[in-house]
């Protein structure tokens, strides 16, 4: 049984969930509306991942920093108004360091303003079923009307894990290159101390207290635990450890994973979720295609064409037979005596058609040639760097290899020559296609996304 929490300025709330099934294993004040603080950035990053998947923005998009973003209070990356920085660095700073300036810059880059981005966050929250959440900004700084609950944040954490496994590793990085600085994780102490811990997000303001949504995986079991209103980092981590231990004790050792249904990207002007659009205009009659008019050839022309075709065929066959007989005689007769001088005869070259070569090759017996293996070197068009495509993170190597094979068969043209590679990470097994040029990886990823397959480009520098 959990020990009573010391009195704090912020109300206490908690929830424990089996991430595989969504089953709630423990809750306390789980639907009380409280200040989420930087737990908000989970939704900021989730919407950013959606925008990348939809092609609205890329990881390498250069984002210009506004005065508003640069003026946000700590925690911050230290961005300056007017500078440009790649989106990938802003994502790392927001996820790892919980940088407020980076979160605001992400919002403005995707929606044009933080207000418009907050509206998109709210639409996404409603589509997820987060019934007691309202966002007013992208970073979680205290603002009137900005609130959430332990239940809603636990639900959001589960979506982050299962909807974007290719990006989830951001939340477990102890440090990361954020372009202008190396940032360190805000909760690396708990990540290092708890077995299987791999995220997700911390949050603190004076009004909220010390908040945390955490996840850990042990074998096939994964638990998500949420705490609102801790009195300090140490007490919050102690409480989350107790909740996690409770979750692993109560969760079954094996369970069928029931992934949450990802919400549609809630961009401005998008159709309302659940609204059916019925298309009309069915074809009532099927018109028979009209044959293309042709000019009949004269009988004399037909006869002439047939004769020419027959001559060509006879010539090809004759050349092939003659070449085959010559080769056969050369193989049967003994080698010529080099001591006896004979008059040299210069052979007369004659044209041989492609058809003759093919026919002669078909009539000759197969010859076994002992050759060394040929080494093929791939030439990269991206300055010597090899690129790849990641199509997701899976719970087992078998699942990752199976998906790689399925995708390779469905996109043989775009992934021609790519190497299938499974890389084990702390959160699972990454399914990658490697050995592509930058242009080839970009084309392959776009074609996969058009088919509904989640993917993103990777390179040796990422």
Name the packing angle between helices 100-111 and 114-128 (round to 10°).
Answer: 90
Q: Indicate if 175 belongs to the active site.
A: no
Contact of 86 with 63, CB cutoff 8 Å: yes
Find the radius of gyration of the CA atoms of the chain: 33
- Which H or E run includes 311? helix 299-332
What CA–CA distance (Å, rounded) separates 150 from 33?
8
Torsion-angle region of 281 (φ positive above 0: left; ψ -120 to 50: alpha; else: beta): left
* Terminal C-alpha separation, the chain: 44
Catalytic residue, chosen from 66, 98, 172, 215, is 98
Q: Indicate if 406 belongs to the active site.
A: no
| DSSP states of 133-176 | -B-S-SS----TT-BB-HHHHHHHHHHHHHH-TTTGGGGG-SEE
DSSP symbol at 265: P
Catalytic residue, chosen from 38, 111, 148, 437, is 38
Q: Indicate if 98 belongs to the active site.
A: yes
What CA–CA distance (Å, rounded) separates 455 from 452?
9
Query: Contacts by 7-11 with C-beta closer than 8 Å and gap 24+?
Result: 7/231, 8/209, 8/229, 8/230, 8/231, 9/206, 9/207, 9/209, 10/34, 10/35, 10/207, 10/208, 10/209, 10/228, 10/229, 11/228, 11/229
Catalytic residue, chosen from 41, 76, 97, 201, is 41
Residue where the block lists tokens 């990356």: 77
Kindly list the catalytic residues: 38, 41, 98
């Amino acid at each position: 049984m959990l020990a009573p929490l010391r009195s704090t300025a912020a109300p206490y709330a908690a929830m424990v969930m089996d991430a595989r099934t969504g089953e709630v294993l423990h809750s306390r004040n789980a639907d009380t509306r409280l200040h989420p603080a930087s737990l908000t950035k989970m939704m900021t990053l989730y919407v950013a991942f959606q925008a990348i998947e939809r092609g609205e923005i890329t990881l390498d998009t250069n984002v210009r920093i506004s005065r508003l973003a640069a003026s946000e209070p700590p925690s911050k990356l230290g961005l300056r108004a007017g500078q440009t920085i790649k989106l990938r660095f802003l994502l790392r700073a927001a996820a790892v360091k919980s940088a407020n300036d980076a979160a605001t810059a992400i919002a403005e880059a995707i929606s044009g303003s933080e207000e418009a981005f907050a509206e998109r966050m709210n639409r996404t929250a409603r589509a997820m079923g987060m019934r007691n959440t309202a966002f007013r900004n992208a970073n979680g700084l205290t603002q009137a009307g900005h609130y959430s609950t332990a239940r809603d944040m636990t639900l959001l954490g589960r979506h982050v894990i299962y909807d974007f496994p290719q990006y989830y590793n951001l939340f477990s990085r102890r440090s990361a290159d954020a372009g202008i600085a190396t940032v360190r994780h805000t909760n690396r102490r708990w990540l290092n101390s708890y077995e299987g811990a791999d995220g997700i997000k911390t949050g603190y303001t004076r009004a909220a207290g010390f908040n945390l949504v955490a996840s850990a995986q042990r074998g096939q079991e994964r638990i998500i635990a949420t705490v609102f209103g801790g009195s300090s980092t140490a007490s919050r981590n102690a409480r989350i450890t107790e909740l996690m231990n409770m979750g692993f004790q109560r969760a079954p050792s094996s369970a069928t994973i029931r992934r949450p249904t990802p919400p549609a990207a809630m961009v401005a002007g998008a159709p309302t979720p659940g609204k059916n659009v019925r298309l009309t205009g069915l074809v009532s009659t099927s018109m028979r295609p009209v044959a293309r008019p042709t000019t009949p050839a004269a009988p004399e022309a037909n006869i002439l064409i047939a004769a020419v075709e027959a001559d060509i065929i006879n010539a090809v066959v004759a050349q092939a037979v003659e070449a085959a007989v010559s080769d056969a005689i050369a193989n049967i007769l003994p080698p010529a005596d080099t001591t006896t001088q004979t008059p040299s005869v210069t052979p007369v070259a004659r044209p041989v058609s492609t058809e003759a070569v093919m026919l002669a090759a078909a009539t000759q017996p197969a010859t076994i040639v002992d050759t060394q293996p040929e080494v093929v070197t791939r030439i990269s068009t991206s300055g010597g760097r090899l690129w790849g495509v990641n199509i997701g993170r899976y719970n087992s190597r078998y699942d990752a290899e199976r998906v790689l094979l399925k995708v390779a068969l469905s996109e043989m043209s775009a992934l021609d020559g790519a190497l299938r590679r499974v890389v084990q990470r702390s959160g699972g097994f990454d399914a990658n296609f490697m050995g592509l040029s930058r242009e080839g990886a970009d084309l392959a990823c776009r074609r996969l996304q058009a088919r509904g397959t989640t993917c993103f480009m990777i390179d040796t520098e990422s």
